[in-house]
Amino acid sequence: MSTIRKNPILRIAPPYDDALIRYIEKGFSDRLGYGVQFDVREDPSLLCGFIAYIRGTVYDVSGKTQLAGVSAYLIDAMNAPRPAPEPLEQEDA
């Protein structure tokens, strides 16, 4: 792996520990193909998750964004066209 990038920012919801930060850094390093070392900034406005800023790209894994995605999915699913029900066969009386 090439050089470590020291300028990416990680806004993260408390509580967290060093092991979690290292886990996130390793995940980004593996995915991006170079070492990542975050400037960590605790952000109490985040209820959970994190937002990473790396070389002009925002990776938003915050709880609010994840819930918005679920909400949009459910709304789309509710508005999706449904096939017409099969007609009931009538029995001869």
> Do the strands 49-54 and 9-12 form a parallel or antiparallel pair, or are they unpaired?
antiparallel
d(CA 67, CA 80): 20
Is the entire prediction scored with pTM above 0.75? no
pLDDT over threshold 90, residue 87: no
Residue 13 has a pLDDT of: 96
Report residue 42's pLDDT band, with 50, 70 and 90 as the boundaries: very high
* 25 closest CA partner among 42, 43, 45, 5: 5
d(CA 5, CA 34): 8
Residue 4 has a pLDDT of: 57
Region 20-47: what's the mean pLDDT? 95
